[in-house]
Structure 1
Amino acid sequence: MNKSTLLRYKGYVKTPSLFKSNDLTHVDLLELPLTFKSLDRDSDFKNQRLGKLVEEFVFYQLKHQTSVNWIIENIQIQKEQQTIGEIDALFYMKEKPIHLEIVYKFYLYDTLESYTNPLFYWIGPNRKDALCYKLEKLKNKQFPLLYKNETKHQLEDYNINIAEVSQKLCFKAQLFLPYKRDDINIDAINEQCVYGFYISYKDINLFEAYKFHIPEKLDWLIDPHNNVEWQDFNRAKDLIEKQIKENRSPLVWLKVNNTKFEKCFITFW
């Protein structure tokens, strides 16, 4: 197992649940241990997409719990030879059948728009994703998928009584606040999910004294550390500018000194 995989898994494990209760999700939350123990030496995580890699991590963590008996994961539900959705996982926990959906997101607190619902402020770094959109999709599409006739038909071989299945959500997230704004109220969700800040590219010169590291997306899970290739401000700015011109907001690590690091998004907006 390579070191990157270990660091990514550790980063996933320690990421808290975005929600403190199920009041906002309307479905029970699955709370997993936040402390890293170990990984089997032969552990093999193959996915190169961050969301799918996190699913593998969740499956690994669950399968190592003595109360869990695994059924199936990543079930593609078909209707007339077309995929209409996917169920992330089905398993027994303490002999009770569970349908689990898994989410891992990076959200920034929007300051360009005003909203009546405090949850609307949390958007993806490229402004194409939003917390409220994801919650609606879970409520109206992903969880109801279990009860469709096509799903019942595909699960017949597993001898599962759909009426007995409990549905749960594992929703982890890293949150980023506007640079040097301490007036943001995030009481509705878990403040322990705040991992850093974001700043517009037009203000990037504020960090000209720092070193930069631009991690690949799978490494967004990792806490900044010193053992990477650091770049000076001008080189990093050139690389970041290329993404900005494509309306992408990269995540970067900032090296303040040998012991202090920051995690932030540089946004195109």
Structure 2
Amino acid sequence: MDHNSKDIQLQYEGFLNTPFLWRKEPLFGLKQFEFQEKNCSTFEGNVTKQPRLGKRVERFISFELQQQDSIKLLFENFQIQNGKITIGEIDFLLQQNKKPIHLEAIYKFYLYDENFGSTEIEHWIGPNRKDNLVKKLTKLKNKQLPLLYKKEAKILLDKYNLNVSTIKQRVYFKAQLFVPLRLKNKEFKLINNTCITGFYIDLSELQQFKKCKFYIPTKINWLQNIKVNITWLNFNVFSTKIKPLLNQQTAPLCWIKHPNGETEKCFIVWWN
């Protein structure tokens, strides 16, 4: 297995280990897809060489669903077009125990910022403040899921002799969540707390970690669980590497190794 496929395998394992953002009760009226997770831990699907993280996750979900005996994938990434204009894309159309389901897939990294919004759900934002959980849930509810009911989607449904009124809609929403350092032990009411993967700090708080070692994974490797046998950076080298990123208003995800050998995931933010 070459280095790249080894990384892909580790990304897949990290993806499988990521919990769903919520469980039984719907969030924002959206129901999470439920299936008997029979995890095939070796990834044997195809991925493109130049990946976007979201696209790679779609390949992982596709592969995972194909391993389930109760699930038959009918279609994935179907472009809904009005003439030459693409108005959206249906992620997955599948049958679970022969019942049709339209499934939208999401994998996100969110940070908890009490200064953004006014409710627990509104406080979850993207690392660079361009994205937030409420915006994503709203888009799912008002734009992505309603695509199924557009007349342009009828071509797809007719192909499988499906009546739109029989199709259930679900989301597959996984997330890694990060909280401010001082809230490391906070319990949240509305989300699955096992999604909390680490914490975030700004440059002024970094000093308290000066005895630690650091690593900056590439964005596609944000999916991975922390590897230990890597070339760790000392505090000074790490500081000089992240300053230009913060100046560009990019919040890097880092792995931290404490002197006692413990490891953690952490975002360094430019905006705090």
TM-score range, shorter chain: over 0.9
User: Cα offset for 1:234?
Assistant: 1.5
- The letter of the residue matching 1:234 is N
Of 172, 175, 178, the match for 2:177: 175
Structure 1 residue ranges (4+ consecutive) displaced by more than 6 angstroms after TM superposition: none
Q: SS of 2:255's equivalent?
A: strand
Residue correspondence of structure 1 range 51-62 to structure 2 within 5 A: 51-62=54-65
Partner residue in 1 for 2:188: 186
Consecutive unaligned residues of structure 1, counting only runs of 5 or more, are none
User: Would the alpha carbon gap of residues 83 and 76 (structure 1) be closer, same or farther in structure 2, given more than 3 Å must change?
Assistant: same
1:239 corresponds to 2:241: yes
- The letter of the residue matching 2:248 is E
1:23 corresponds to 2:22: no
Q: Residues of 1 paired with 2:121 and 2:30: CA distance?
A: 17
Consecutive unaligned residues of structure 2, counting only runs of 5 or more, are none
User: Would the alpha carbon gap of residues 183 and 58 (structure 1) be closer, same or farther in structure 2, given more than 3 Å must change?
Assistant: closer
User: Would the alpha carbon gap of residues 165 and 124 (structure 1) be closer, same or farther in structure 2, given more than 3 Å must change?
Assistant: same
User: Would the alpha carbon gap of residues 247 and 261 (structure 1) be closer, same or farther in structure 2, given more than 3 Å must change?
Assistant: same
User: Cα offset for 1:158?
Assistant: 2.8
Q: Residues of 1 paired with 2:162 and 2:231: CA distance?
A: 50
TM-score (normalised: structure 1)? 0.93
User: Cα offset for 1:69?
Assistant: 1.6
Say how many residue pairs are matched: 267
TM-score (normalised: structure 2)? 0.92
User: Cα offset for 1:37?
Assistant: 3.7
RMSD, aligned CA: 1.8
Q: Residues of 2 paired with 1:146 and 1:57: CA distance?
A: 23
Identical columns (%): 42
User: Cα offset for 1:156?
Assistant: 2.7
Of 132, 135, 139, the match for 2:134: 132
Matched-pair contact (CA < 8 Å) for 1:15–1:34:
no
Partner residue in 2 for 1:77: 80
User: Would the alpha carbon gap of residues 157 and 66 (structure 1) be closer, same or farther in structure 2, given more than 3 Å must change?
Assistant: same
User: Cα offset for 1:226?
Assistant: 0.8
Partner residue in 2 for 1:152: 154
User: Would the alpha carbon gap of residues 33 and 197 (structure 1) be closer, same or farther in structure 2, given more than 3 Å must change?
Assistant: farther
- The letter of the residue matching 2:228 is N
Q: Residues of 2 paired with 1:79 and 1:171: CA distance?
A: 28
Q: Residues of 2 paired with 1:113 and 1:157: CA distance?
A: 45
Partner residue in 2 for 1:262: 264
Matched-pair contact (CA < 8 Å) for 1:226–1:258:
no
Matched-pair contact (CA < 8 Å) for 2:45–2:60:
no
